[in-house]
Amino acid sequence: MKSTKTLRIKNSLIRLYFTINGALAIIILLMIFFFLLNEGYPAIKEIGLGEFLFKSRWMPSSGDPGYGTLALILSTLIVAFGAMVISIPWGIVTAGYISEIAPKKIQEILKTTIETLAVFPSVVLGFIALTTVAPLVARIFGLSNGLTALTGSIMLSVMALPTIISISEDALNSVPKEYKEAAIAMGATRWEVLKKVTYPSASSGILAAVMLGFGRAIGETMTVLMATGNSLAMPMTDIHGIPFPDFLTSVRTLTATIAIEGSDVPWGSIHYHSLFVVGAILFVLTFIINLIADLAINRFKGGNG
């Protein structure tokens, strides 16, 4: 009798232990968010959220400090947007080739290559940007310095590629076979099936892939830190009085700012707390993008059983 009772207690303890482990993800996510807010709060109280969000001068360690992150946010979005312009068509077409067209052997080669690309450390891509891509960009566009938003975008497109390909491929693979067979039976060619049946049916999964790739590009640090030159100016240029994003100028992203200033900032200073505000902005930005991706994934998983 006694032994079954201790057994029962032991079992519920074991269960409790694993439940705590399971809940850890929620706890850590909440902890990160509230910690960022808590550590950022002293800076917001001192300076005001308005200056952080709507001013573009970031100079927290100067005698006349500025805490505007607008230029940093715009730079982040511009570099990530440029990366997406390259990697969305690249990734979606490659995923289509892998999942629908390639023979088995070539499929394996492509998948292995993409897996290899996925483990490339971002600092290595940053290094290649510095030594190879930036001089090339400088020569092509006649610039004195090739460390530009464009260079960052090119490298980020390579970084985001594995994410976009693997999730698009999942989405394409989960399109029911019957859809394609029905189209073939009605006389469609394989190309017509791919274009008019497979891709449209996988669209919400592909949207998820694009959003996750975009989130990845926004959160990436080392590659942009080493590739974009880190100048603090507004990344915009006027064309006939209308502001346009300037891809051929040096920019500094939110992530690069934390990396540059975070290692030697005096702990507890307003500058230190203001970096947590930058971190919180970054967290919210990527959180929203991931949430959209999540909704899209649920739709394609729910839609096709």
Partner 1 sequence: MANLSKKKYSKNISQITHSLETHRQFAKKNIKEKINFGIFAFVASSAVLTVLVLLGILVKGGSGVISIEFITQMPMSQMTEGGIYSAIMGTVYLSLLTLLFSLPLGVGAAIYLHEWAGKGFFVRLIRLSIRNLAGVPSIVYGLFGLGIFAATIGFGTSLLSASLTLALMSLPIIITASEEALKAVPQEFREASIALGATRWETIRYQVLPYALPGIATGSILSIARAAGETAPIILTGAAYFLPYLPGSLFDRFMALPYHLYILSTQHSQTAVVRPLAYGTALVLIAIVLLVNAVAIYIRYRSRKNKLW
> Shortest Cβ distance from residue 238 to partner 1 (Å)?
31
> ∠123-128-130 over CA atoms, to 5°?
95
> Shortest Cβ distance from residue 91 to partner 1 (Å)?
8
> Shortest Cβ distance from residue 29 to partner 1 (Å)?
5
List the one residue out of 76, 70, 72, 81 whose CA is nearest residue 214: 81
CB-based burial, 11-42: b 16+ in 10 Å, e otherwise? eeeeeeeeeeeeeeeeeeeeeeeeebbebbeb
> Shortest Cβ distance from residue 234 to partner 1 (Å)?
22
> Shortest Cβ distance from residue 133 to partner 1 (Å)?
10
> Shortest Cβ distance from residue 161 to partner 1 (Å)?
6
Residue 114 near residue 213, CB atoms below 8 Å: no
Strands (E) in the chain, as ranges, are 236-239, 242-245
Cβ proximity to partner 1, 243 vs 303, nearer residue: 303
**Which residue shows structure tokens 């693997």?**
166
Residue 253 near residue 79, CB atoms below 8 Å: yes
> Shortest Cβ distance from residue 268 to partner 1 (Å)?
8
Cβ proximity to partner 1, 22 vs 63, nearer residue: 22
C-alpha 41/C-alpha 54 separation (Å) is 17
Cβ proximity to partner 1, 108 vs 181, nearer residue: 108
Q: In this structure, what token pair is assigned to residue 28? A: 């850590």
> ∠262-263-268 over CA atoms, to 5°?
60
Cβ proximity to partner 1, 122 vs 236, nearer residue: 122
Cβ proximity to partner 1, 184 vs 236, nearer residue: 184
> Shortest Cβ distance from residue 7 to partner 1 (Å)?
7
Q: In this structure, what token pair is assigned to residue 218? A: 């926004």
C-alpha 38/C-alpha 49 separation (Å) is 14
Cβ proximity to partner 1, 21 vs 241, nearer residue: 21
Cβ proximity to partner 1, 112 vs 237, nearer residue: 112
Cβ proximity to partner 1, 171 vs 222, nearer residue: 222
Coil, strand, or helix at residue 202?
A: coil
C-alpha 272/C-alpha 261 separation (Å) is 9
What stretch of H or E contains 236? strand 236-239
